[in-house]
Structure formats: structure tokens, C-alpha cells
Amino acid sequence: MKFIRSKRIFTIILTLALTILCFAGIDTREAKAANKRSRYTICIDPGHQQYANSNKEPNGPGSSTMKMKVSGGTHGSKYPEYKVTLSVGKYLKKELERRGYNVVMTRTKNKVDISNKERAQYASKKGADIMVRLHCDGSESSSANGASVLCITSGNPYHSELYKKSNNLSQCVLSAYCDKTGISKRGTIYTDTMTGLNWCSVPSTLIEMGFMTNYSDDSYMNQKANRKTMAAGIADGIDDYFGF
């Protein structure tokens, strides 16, 4: 009887010790990953701002093509694009910092006046390793739906050396985002017409998170809880890009 009791006590102590060791192991692994993530700085650019700026700026370094400094963006049933991009951007900052990354944002308010060129230059000025630009799509067709990414081409006249990394970042972010949110995956648009990508001297991507002109995408993006999921999906993609 005494023997059985002491055996039981021994088993309980052993189980407790193993549980503590197991959790300590997980904690150490997470701490190590967070420590590695702290080497990286992510620049988040929540697309657009309260008022568009129709003054022009060069489309890329040395380019004679001039484009609007910041366009107005699209609009959903409840919110303008600039509000949704800032909201997701703030959740994304929180999530990335929780995972251990350093984060800088091109804007934290809606009433700002920062051109696409200035946003791109902000990333390198702040020593960011990558730049993630957040946007929502709009279309005349209400059936158009899903998420896509915009990436420079391999022949980009300004930063072709960043194509491979930018493409990898684009694929990682789009896949993880669609997996997490269930929003359908449209694919990648390769273009050298985006001022905010052309001026960027670090790997960059622009994600169109869904269509504000589509009932299903718009309803999804209107919910705060879903915006946290959207941010978590993008953070997963950033983890994938860095190999965490």
C-alpha cells in the first residue's frame, strides 16, 4: 500500500517535472525565434491618406514619367480604403512586434500628406529590411473579388537587383494571407509603373487585400476581428520570407 502510494507520488512528480521542462523548451525556442526576428525591421505602408495629393512626382529615380503623389483610393460600403489600410497596418505592427520584429510605419494617422516616393524612401531611411504596402482593390464590376500582390518585373529599370527578393516576399505574403483569411487568391501583377515600388531600395511588395466593391470581400474587411486575421496572415507571410 505504502509502496503503491509512493509510486503514485513519484509518477505525479515526474509528470510535473516533464511538463515544466516541455514548456521551458517551447519558451526557449520562441525566445530564440523572437531574438532572431529582432534583427529585422519591417516598414509598413498603409496605402493612401485622407486627402489625395494631385501634384506630380517622377515615377522612378531619373524618370521623366510623372505620376500623382498620392491618389484617393477606393471606397467600400462603410469605410474608405485609407481607413481600412491604416487599421490593418496597426494590427500588423502589433502582431509583428509581438513576434519580435522591429516595425516602422509610414503613417499612423489619416490626416497626413506623404507621397508614394516619400513613403518608399522612408523605408530605407529607417533601415528597414523589407517594405509591405497595404491596399484594397476596387472595380466597376461588383463580382471582381480576391487578393493579389503587385511586384516589380525582373527588368525593372531602377531596382532589378531587388526583383528576386521582392517576388519571393510577394508570393510568401499572398499565399499566407489567403490561407489565413480564406479570401480567394487572384495572383501576382508584375509592373514597373508603381512609384512606391520603383523608388524603394529594399525588397518590397504591395498587397491588394480584397475588393471593397465586392459584397463578400467588403463585409469581411469591415469586421475588426477579421482585420486582425488579415494582419496575422501577412505576418505569417513575412515569417515565411525570413524562414521562421
Query: Contact, 160 vs 233, CB < 8 A?
Result: no
Distance in Å, CB of 160 to Zn ion, minimum: 25
Of 73 and 237, nearer to Zn ion (C-beta) is: 73
d(CA 143, CA 155): 33
Determine what percent of the chain falls in helix, strand and coil, rounding each to the nearest 5.
50, 20, 30
Distance in Å, CB of 113 to Zn ion, minimum: 16
By CB neighbour count within 10 A (0-12 exposed, 13-18 middle, 19+ buried), where does 187 fall? exposed
At 166, give phi and psi (nearest 5°). -65, -40
Distance in Å, CB of 206 to Zn ion, minimum: 8
Binding residues for Zn ion, rule CB under 5 A, total 3
Query: Contact, 40 vs 101, CB < 8 A?
Result: yes
Q: Which residue is nearest to Zn ion (CB)?
A: 135
Choice from 46, 73, 76, 196 touching Zn ion (CB under 5 A): 73
Helix 163-181 crosses helix 224-242 at what angle (to 10 degrees)? Answer: 140
Give residues 34-63 in contact with Zn ion (rule: CB under 5 A).
47
Distance in Å, CB of 47 to Zn ion, minimum: 4
Q: In the stretch 115-144, what mask flags binding to Zn ion with x, by CB under 5 A?
A: --------------------x---------
Binding stretches for Zn ion (CB under 5 A): 47, 73, 135
